[in-house]
Amino acid sequence: MAKVCEVCGKAKTTGYKISHSNIKTKRKWRPNIQRIKVMINGSPRKINVCSRCIKANKIQKAV
């Protein structure tokens, strides 16, 4: 499953975890992606949506 929101396009970002002794190791931040059923053009479809888009009501859930 792709870890990309199909509404806003949010995907994983990379950076460094920095320890107290300033040692840098690579890490990733992944968005909270949920596969939910939404109404698109009058028909229900399952798409990958991040939790921020779900909370902001950017999609219309199918019942």
What residue spans define the domains of the chain? 1-63
* Residue 1 in this model has a pLDDT that exceeds 70: no
Measured CA to CA, the distance from residue 31 to residue 3 in angstroms comes to 7
- Total-model pTM: 0.79
* Residue 63 in this model has a pLDDT that exceeds 90: no
Average pLDDT for residues 57-63, to the nearest whole number?
Answer: 92
Q: Which residues partner with 60 through β-bridges? A: none
At the fourth CATH level, the homologous superfamily of domain 1-63 is Ribosomal protein L28/L24 (2.30.170.40)
Measured CA to CA, the distance from residue 56 to residue 49 in angstroms comes to 11
Q: Which residues partner with 61 through β-bridges? A: 38
Residues 2-55 have pLDDT tens digits of 789 999 999 999 999 999 999 999 999 999 999 999 999 999 999 999 999 999
Measured CA to CA, the distance from residue 3 to residue 58 in angstroms comes to 18
What's the pLDDT at 53? 97
